[in-house]
Structure 1
Amino acid sequence: MPPLEAAAKQKVLEEIHLISISYDPVELPRIQPYLTHPDPEVREAALNGFVVLGHAHGAPLLRDAARKLTNPNEAAKLLEKADWLELPSIPPEIIRTRLLKKAAQSQSSTGAGSPPPAAK
């Protein structure tokens, strides 16, 4: 694939951006070909698009692209993001509950919030 001219490259970058902010995992295959594009900026935009979409369905596509790349550092980056996409998400309510519980435990172990011991 020949290098893109500036206008064509900008159009591709905009397309990737618009697809990524759809937040629809059905769109992942539209970004996938750009993961192995000759232009490093396009590859980076495609990877960022996968991250923005943030869906676990993107992980196999990232792994497939990593196998096709010749640069081991870039391949490792794709594999790292694939692993990240597969991490389970925690609903905000659970995070809030855990933080409140941890804060309460911290206060009880340090004695915060309890009266000082009586002087003898």
Structure 2
Amino acid sequence: MASAFTAPHVTEFLDVDVTRTMELVARSRGAEGYARVNPLAVLSRAMCRALHRTPELNPSLQGEQISVSRRVHLGIATATDRGLMVPVVPDTHALSMGELALRIRVGDSGP
């Protein structure tokens, strides 16, 4: 409750043309290693690569120190029978599109 009155809240709505994304998904299906590519994988990979290239947008708080890392870990909130879970795929910036799509689909966070 406290955050409802003390933290700023922002809502933004955007219209996005995903025609080229859907064309990439269609071309990728059936290609070696890309059988499971979907729009979520394409957008996730784009976001993770952008964060890797712009580490100042990927800070974390270590005690009282702000730390910036080029490593990018992806968490996707997922509704389960046990409630909302957020499995994390580490080092997503280093994965190919096919690898990321597979890990998102099967919930494999890797080694």
TM-score (norm 2): 0.26
Q: Which has the higher helix share?
A: 1
TM-score (norm 1): 0.25
Q: Which has the higher strand share?
A: 2
Q: Which has the larger radius of gyration?
A: 1
